[in-house]
Amino acid sequence: MPAKTYDTIAGLRGALYARRAAGAGLSVGFVPTMGALHEGHVSLVRRAVSENDITVVSIFLNPLQFDESADLDSYPKTLDADVRLCGEAGADLIFCPSVREVYPDGASTRVEMDGPTDVLCGKSRPRHFSGVLTVVSKLFHIVEPDAAYFGEKDAQQLAVIRKLVRDLNMPVTIVGCPTVREADGLAMSSRNTHLNADERKAATCLFRALAAAREKLGDAAARSGAPRGEGEWASLAAKVADAARAVLDAEPLARTEYVELLDAETLAPLNDSSKAALCAIAVQIGQTRLIDNMRFSLDG
Ligand code: PAF
């Protein structure tokens, strides 16, 4: 059956109700997107299709999560191609509502979170995560999925959504899916289409910087074993971030916004109970802001 598209909440809910009624216990997988789909999104849809009876994809460019209107205006819009890709990947239902449908006049409730929303991207984009949490909460209420699929490329987004679901007891399993990369390591992103040829070459510095971080962490662990206490963890985090920063600094077209090594679950500074570290990077290349990350297990 080809994917059906709905632009109203009532239409999507009606279709989901009918599909769920067709069989007891049918599971619903959900992939929220903002469109401009690429192989990374397709991998999320395929995973949802393989693990659920019904797969819903939303395509909604959420104005609430853009701190700057220029960023929203320049976001690529490719709805027809997106719908085709979702159908080819096996999605059953596609939800592509208008801004008015999601935020009718008078909608002023916002979901806010303290802690992991204030670090990394949250420092330069103070309203971004509240916008993400608000729309994701609304979409979860509309779709009522059993599982929702998010890319690990947006590691901070994934961490705050996991916390949202825990903090508000939402009955949905959050599934993180591996970053899909180009052959030269560049993480797939809807924003990559903004890069010109020189910028595209320069953009490989993010993956190279993460590889340098991985090497530095490995060397440090081999030389002095596991750090103990706040001071040793902070010194390790600084050394690893410096190794990554050196690679970014050597790229003339790149302007580094941040490079940090944090606890992968809490996004707090590393400490004796951290199980994994996240090296996260944000870089401006020309007019395009790119992010990437790598996760390192600290077990053993
Ligand atoms: O990752 C995205 O594309 C968006 O932040 C999301 C989760 C669809 C919310 O608008």
Determine the atom of ligand 1 nearest the C-alpha atom of 132: 9
| pLDDT tens digits, 181-192 | 999 999 999 999
CATH code linked to domain 190-297: 3.30.1300.10
From-to residues of CATH 3.30.1300.10 in the chain: 190-297
Distance 236 CA to ligand 1 centre (A): 32
| pLDDT tens digits, 5-33 | 999 999 999 999 999 998 889 999 999 99
| Residue 112, token pair as written in the block | 């806010």
| Residue 46, token pair as written in the block | 């395929």
Determine the atom of ligand 1 nearest the C-alpha atom of 161: 7
Can you tell me the distance from the alpha carbon of 149 to that of 134, in angstroms, rounded to the nearest whole number?
A: 17
Determine the atom of ligand 1 nearest the C-alpha atom of 65: 10
pLDDT above 70 (res 56): yes
How sure is the predictor about 2, in pLDDT bands with cuts at 50, 70 and 90? confident
What is the predicted pLDDT for the residue at 300?
A: 65
Active-site residue, selected from the candidate residues 38, 41, 128, 194:
41
Can you tell me the distance from the alpha carbon of 105 to that of 225, in angstroms, rounded to the nearest whole number?
A: 57
- The neighbouring-strand residues paired with 296 are 277
CATH T-level fold of 4-177:
Rossmann fold (3.40.50)
Collect all residues with Cβ–Cβ distance below 8 Å to 211 and sequence separation of at least 6: 185
Amino acid at 76: P
Distance 154 CA to ligand 1 centre (A): 9
Which residue's structure tokens are 């600290």? 298
Which of 86, 157, 165 is the pocket-test mutation for ligand 1 (most atoms within 8 Å of CB)? 157
In terms of C-beta distances under 8 Å and separation of at least 24 residues, what long-range contacts does 234-241 make, across chains too? Answer: 234/269, 234/270, 236/261, 236/270, 237/261, 237/262, 237/269, 237/270, 237/277, 240/213, 240/216, 240/277, 240/279, 241/213, 241/279
Nearest-CA residue for ligand 1 atom 9 is 132
Which phi and psi (to 5°) does residue 75 adopt?
-65, 130
Distance 65 CA to ligand 1 centre (A): 9
* Residue list, ligand 1 pocket, CB within 6 Å: 32-34, 62, 65, 132, 135-136, 154, 157
pLDDT above 80 (res 213): yes
Determine the atom of ligand 1 nearest the C-alpha atom of 61: 10
> Is 41 one of the annotated active-site residues of the chain?
yes
From-to residues of CATH 3.40.50.620 in the chain: 4-177
